[in-house]
Amino acid sequence: MNELDYVECMVKRKTSPLFVFLKFVCIILAVISALGFMTGIGAIIGMIVTLALTVFFGFMAFLCNLNSNIEYEYQYCEKEVTVDKILNKNSRKRVGKFETERMEAFGPINSYHLDEFKNKNYQVLDFSDGEVHQPDTRYAFYYDGRQKLIMNPDERLVAAVYQVAPRKTFKD
């Protein structure tokens, strides 16, 4: 068994300031509406509304917390690249499974080899870390004429895909 038969790569996505801000706003609003519920402001209907607002803002704070800490895991195994989304380091969701036989091209996002794909309409799926580094470390994975995946693979993942599809993989 070759060491490139199974490769894993983890990428932490940059935290969006919008989700952090929304999380704190929702927590503050949940606390305010919980205090309004406990003090019994208004009649029964007012207490029911404040309880509903407390539950709503608490749930929204939970969702913002999940989406403020995202990691992507790329796995290469048996000629397939699998992408998993990990929310808040405890909830894993399979985002997609992509076969290398159906891959059109894989290379650095600014590569001249990928110029023929730039004017076509693809569904763009961004599984990168959310930042543009200098030099740009992002790769584009054109899949099945429909999707363009943007990812930050390491050298081992690029080498594993190159081993299977050398004419479709570019390293420049």
Q: Tell me: do 105 and 63 sit in the same domain.
A: no
pLDDT attached to residue 89? 87
Task: Tell me the CA distances in angstroms from 48 to 43, 54, 56, 58, 66, one per residue in order.
Answer: 9, 10, 12, 15, 27
Task: Quick: pLDDT tens for 136-166.
Answer: 889 999 998 899 999 999 999 999 999 998 9
Q: pLDDT band for 133, please (50, 70, 90 cuts).
A: confident
> Is residue 10 over pLDDT 90?
yes
Higher pLDDT, 62 or 130: 62
Domain count for the chain: 2
28-31: Cβ within 8 A, 24+ apart: 29/53, 29/57, 30/54, 30/57, 30/58, 30/61
Query: Which has the closest alpha carbon to 9: 89, 100, 71?
Result: 71
Is residue 1, in this structure, part of any structural domain at all? Answer: no
pLDDT attached to residue 42? 63
Look up the domain containing 113 and give its range: 6-13+72-164
Is residue 47, in this structure, part of any structural domain at all? Answer: yes
What's the CATH code of the domain at 114? 2.30.29
